[in-house]
Amino acid sequence: MRVIAGTRKGHRLASPRGAHVRLTGDRVREAIFNLVGPVDGTSVLDLFAGSGALGIEALSRGAGRCVFAESDRGAVRVIRENLERTRLTGAVVEQRDVIALLREERSRGRSYDLVICDPPYGRWAEMEAPLAELLPGVLSPDGLLMVETDERVEPQLPLDPVTSRRYGSARVTIFRHA
């Protein structure tokens, strides 16, 4: 796995180990950023960050800040290693439950220009309701939300869908405020 574009293009990234890890491939990451468009100077929230590849891609492409949220200790270690390896700045890594972090960010009035939400495919059904409640409150008025799910899942959130595309076993859906 490598950084696709930007200032750290070509840098290799480490991956967390274990059966619970599902990485977003290079082709899908490239497609995501083609759909999202330029991220220069934006604030990004990378939920269920895993290796941090999506947030790192955003920072490499010019995002000003990225908060990585991941509950798994081993994955958090890999995110920090990848950030050190790429020497990217503007990153904050939170080893926390995503729902708890979203509640806190919403209560503090923090919002993000790009929210990346890539939960484990098998957990979307249980995560959809709390995410539907919390995500609109952390998405800036002109911001975009990118959700990656299993190809068979059409996420239902109280936001306007911009596009939904399938890439192999993955579905990428982009949302914005009404």
> Is 1 part of a structural domain of the chain?
no
Q: Which of 177, 96, 83, 94 is nearest to 139 (CA)?
A: 177
Q: 116 vs 10, which has greater pLDDT? A: 116
Reported as a pLDDT band with limits 50, 70 and 90, residue 19 is very low
> Is 16 part of a structural domain of the chain?
no
Structural domain that includes position 86: 26-176
Give the mean pLDDT of 16-34.
Answer: 75
Percentage with pLDDT > 90 across the chain:
84
CATH number at residue 163: 3.40.50.150
> Is 74 part of a structural domain of the chain?
yes
pLDDT at 99 > cutoff 80: yes
State how many domains the chain has.
Answer: 1
CA dihedral 44, 158, 160, 177 (to 10 degrees): -50
> Is 20 part of a structural domain of the chain?
no
Q: Which pLDDT value is given to residue 105?
A: 97
> Is 43 part of a structural domain of the chain?
yes
Reported as a pLDDT band with limits 50, 70 and 90, residue 1 is confident
Residue pair 60/86 in contact (Cβ under 8 Å)? The answer is: yes
Average pLDDT, the chain: 93
Most confident option among 18-22, 25-29, 35-39: 35-39
Is the pTM higher than 0.75? yes
pLDDT at 129 > cutoff 60: yes
Burial of 18 (0-12, 13-18, 19+ CB in 10 A): exposed
> Is 13 part of a structural domain of the chain?
no
CA distance 108 to 144: 20
